[in-house]
Amino acid sequence: PVIDVKAGDVGHRTLWVVVVLMAISSLAFYGMAFRVPVQKRLFHILTAFITTFAFLSYFAMATGDGISIKQYTVTEHHKNVPATHQSYDREIYWARYVDWSITTPLLLLDLALLAGLSGANILVAVIADLIMILTGLFAALGKKDSQTWGWYAWACIAYLVIVYQLAFNGRKAVAGKDSKTKAFYGSIAGFTLILWTIYPIIWGLSEGAHVINVNSEIVAYAVLDILAKPVFGFWLLFTHDSMASTTPSL
Ligand code: RET
């Protein structure tokens, strides 16, 4: 079989399903924001904007924007490409990186405010996150394997900085809070770290090594994005609404 270099029906339908789910959850989060007092509203606003950006990026991809074509030279690694092909084109969904560069810092801010992370540590996590996403974009656009995997390596190092901030400094910061907040931070930060770790794996299998085709790439990211944004958001906001002490002092 020849590698699918473009999205088919499965991919297109999946993109539209996510457009609808992100729209619905955004509306729900804005609705929930109005129903809590303004002092409790920061998490709601952050979370609503996260799904709004995802909605916009998925709308772009579903309608054919934010996608470019990258040409690959066929080498002996590409066993699925007929010998008559010297090169092939693959779709690169760069709109994802625009979305991620804004929404992953906002997701980190949700967690950092919950834990009560210090300003300096929040800044380190956010900047490391930006470096991770932007070097990931360079990895996706790299022309040579050496560029692709070189950028990928920098992105992974930046990711380790985020893991350190959430798992080590985040836990240290939340240790001074009440036991409910402590337990909740442990669960939702653990959920986040497991989920986020799957992204670079999917990336390596799709855009990196082309082991899975474009349709599977779209479906895999769709499932991860739904868990990382709407599911994360509902979990955070419902729990936060039922707890008084997690109000950030902002
Ligand atoms: C890339 C490729 C380079 C290496 C690493 C990556 C990590 C990406 C992550 C993305 C998280 C996205 C989320 C989206 C929400 O909807 C850029 C894939 C480490 C962690 C949470």
Per-residue DSSP letters for 164-204? HIIIIIHHHHHTTS-HHHHHHHHHHHHHHHHHHHHHHHHHI
Nearest atom of ligand 1 to the alpha carbon of 107: 21
Task: Name which of 8-22, 78-92, 146-160 the model is least confident about.
Answer: 78-92
pLDDT at 2 > cutoff 90: no
pLDDT at 116 > cutoff 90: yes
State mean pLDDT over 34-61: 96
Q: pLDDT tens digit string along 51-65?
A: 999 999 999 999 999
Nearest atom of ligand 1 to the alpha carbon of 137: 17
Q: Is the CB of 42 under 6 A from ligand 1?
A: no
Q: pLDDT confidence of 1, banded at 50, 70, 90?
A: very low
The residue whose two tokens read 């980190």 is 108
Q: Is the CB of 221 under 6 A from ligand 1?
A: no
pLDDT at 77 > cutoff 80: no
Q: What is the pLDDT at residue 108?
A: 98
Q: Cα-Cα-Cα-Cα dihedral of 134, 147, 92, 51, to 10°? A: -20
pLDDT at 223 > cutoff 70: yes
pLDDT at 85 > cutoff 80: no
Q: Is the CB of 128 under 6 A from ligand 1?
A: no
Q: pLDDT confidence of 30, banded at 50, 70, 90?
A: very high
Q: What is the pLDDT at residue 81?
A: 65
Question: Are the C-beta atoms of 223 and 98 separated by less than 8 Å?
Answer: no
State mean pLDDT over 39-51: 95
Higher-pLDDT residue of 249 and 27 is 27
Residue 144 to residue 175: CA distance in whole angstroms: 46
The beta strand positions in 67-120, using DSSP E, are: 67-73, 87-93
By three-state DSSP, how is residue 88 classified?
strand
pLDDT at 250 > cutoff 70: no
pLDDT at 168 > cutoff 60: yes
In this structure, what token pair is assigned to residue 68? Answer: 């470019």
Nearest atom of ligand 1 to the alpha carbon of 54: 16
Q: What is the pLDDT at residue 87?
A: 76
Q: What is the pLDDT at residue 4?
A: 63
Contacts made by residues 39-46, CB under 8 angstroms, sequence distance 24+: 39/247, 40/240, 40/241, 40/247, 42/113, 42/248, 42/250, 43/110, 43/113, 43/114, 43/236, 43/237, 43/240, 43/248, 44/237, 46/106, 46/109, 46/110
Q: What is the pLDDT at residue 40?
A: 87
Separation of 150 CA from ligand 1 center, angstroms? Answer: 16
One-letter amino acid of 50 = I
Q: Is the CB of 151 under 6 A from ligand 1?
A: no
Residue 76 to residue 163: CA distance in whole angstroms: 36
pLDDT at 139 > cutoff 50: yes
Separation of 160 CA from ligand 1 center, angstroms? Answer: 12
One-letter amino acid of 203 = W
Q: Is the CB of 44 under 6 A from ligand 1?
A: no
Separation of 57 CA from ligand 1 center, angstroms? Answer: 15
> What is the predicted ipTM?
0.98
State mean pLDDT over 33-47: 94
Nearest atom of ligand 1 to the alpha carbon of 224: 16
- Beta-carbon count within 10 A of 145 CB: 14
Task: Name which of 87-91, 101-105, 146-150, 214-218 the model is least confident about.
Answer: 87-91
pLDDT at 166 > cutoff 90: yes
Q: What is the pLDDT at residue 82?
A: 66
